[in-house]
Amino acid sequence: MSQVRISENGAQFCQSVFDDMMTQSDAVYGVLISTVDGHDVVKCFKQDMPASKLAAMMSSVLALGETVAIEADQQQCRYVIVENSNGYILTLRLKEKLVLTVIARANANLGMLHSITRSAVEKLAEKLK
């Protein structure tokens, strides 16, 4: 797959959406858009994290979730949620070639996190071509 590029205006729009997400939930401390084949595109982290490694791993996690959904005869995978001892990682497809990953602390309200993430995907999908 060729590298996906987002224009400067598109990257600025992504950053504003990321900022909104982090404002809506102070538990969110990382947001990443990557390609389905595992390359980071745009990120906003409140702490140092390896974007390229996360992009590669989350691409694989989403692909696995999609495969499991098909094998379980449940059609499309909407989210992959990884609950960890210190928080959550939500990953979902954003358009055909992009993946959105949201990283949040354990004090996050999971329902609120879903809502924020769904809203962000709708905004981003509409704006990104």
Q: What is the pLDDT along the chain (129 residues), one digit of tens a residue?
A: 446 778 899 899 999 999 999 999 999 999 999 999 999 999 999 999 999 999 999 999 999 999 999 999 998 888 899 999 999 999 999 988 899 999 999 999 999 999 999 999 999 999 886
Structural domains of the chain in order of their starting residue, each with its CATH number? 8-127 (3.30.450.30)
Parallel, antiparallel, or unpaired for β 87-94 and 80-84? antiparallel
CA atoms of 70 and 82, how far apart (whole Å): 19
CA atoms of 14 and 1, how far apart (whole Å): 22
Q: What 3 state SS string does 67-122 have?
A: HHHHHCCCCCCCCEEEEECCEEEEEEEECCCEEEEEEEECCCCHHHHHHHHHHHHH
Residue at 45: amino acid letter: F
Q: What are 67's two structure tokens?
A: 């495969």
Task: Give the position of tokens 């999971």.
Answer: 110
What is the value of pTM for the model shown? 0.92
